[in-house]
Amino acid sequence: MSLPPITPAVLSALAPTGKLRAGINFQNPLLTKLGPNGEQSGVAVDLVHELAKRLNVPIEVIVYHSAGELAESVASGKWDVSVLAVEAERAKDIAFAGATTEIEATYMVPPGSKLQKVEDVDSPGVRIALGAKSGYDLYLARTLKHAQRVPIAGSGAAFKHFVDNKLDAYAGLKTEMVKFAAQLPGARLLDGRFMTVCHTAGVPRGRGAAGESFLNAFVEAVKAEGLVQQWINKSGVAGLSAAPLTGQ
C-alpha cells in the first residue's frame, strides 16, 4: 500500500523540529516495555520508529507514565505523535488515525459475587475500581448509569484497591485481567465485554490535513503489510490483535 508523498506540509505537521517527537505511555504493558537498562520495546515503540523511518527523520521518544498524563499534554507542544486508546473526549484535541490494535475490556468480580454478566455490573450500589483516565475509564464515565466508578492511578494500583477495599468489580483489559485473577483465587472474569479498546497513533489537532492524512495512510499500510501483527507476535502479548483495515 503506497503512502502519500512526503511534502513540506506533512513534515511541518509530523516533524516540525526536524525530528519525530513521539509521546509514549510506558505504563501500558500491552503496547510498551522498558528493559532493566531503559531499553524500549513494544508495539507502540515499533510503530513510531517505523513512522520516523518512512518520514526519513530521526526520532525522539518522550516517556510518559500514564495515559492521562500523555493525553492531557497535547497542548504543550512537547510531542508530534502519540499512541493512545481512541476515545471521544481525547479526539476533541487529537486527530487519531484508524485503529492499529484492539483488545477487549471486561469486568472481574470477587469470589462469591452475584454478578454474572457484563450487563449486571451497571446497578445501584455497585462500585467499580479501574485505572484513572484510561480509555475504558473515559468510556464508562459517559455510559454508566447506576454503578459508581472508583478511578485509581495505574491499573495495578486499581486492582489492589479493588481487593483491599472489597469493591464489587474491577474494570480492565482482558490480558491484564488474566494475570490479576491469578492473584485472587476464586475471582471471575465476566463473559463478554463492555467495549473494545482500540489504540493507534494520533497528532495534535490543528497541525493540518496533510499530516493527518499521511498518518492515517501509514497506519493502514503497516496493517496491510502485516507489520502490526509481527510487532504483536514479537511482544508476546496475548489477546492483543491487529485491527482490521479501514472499510473491512
Q: State how far the Cα of 89 lies from the Cα of 72, in Å rounded to an integer.
A: 11
Spans of the chain, pLDDT less than 70: 1, 247-248
Give me 132's grid cell.
Answer: 484513572
pLDDT attached to residue 2:
79
If we measure between CA atoms, which residue out of 89, 88, 117, 86 comes closest to residue 194? Answer: 117
Residue 71's pLDDT is 94
What pLDDT score was predicted for residue 247? 65
List pLDDT tens digits, range 156-172. Answer: 899 999 999 999 999 99
Nearest to 228 by CA among 6, 27, 42, 1: 42
What pLDDT does 14 receive?
98
* HSE-CB for 113 with a 13 A CA cutoff: 26
pLDDT tens string 16-48: 999 999 999 998 888 999 888 889 999 999 999
**What domains sit in the chain, N to C, each tagged with a CATH number?**
8-101+199-241 (3.40.190.10), 103-195 (3.40.190.10)
Answer for the pair 132, 145: CB distance below 8 angstroms, yes or no.
no
H or E element at residue 114: none
Distance of CA 196 to the CA centre of its chain: 11
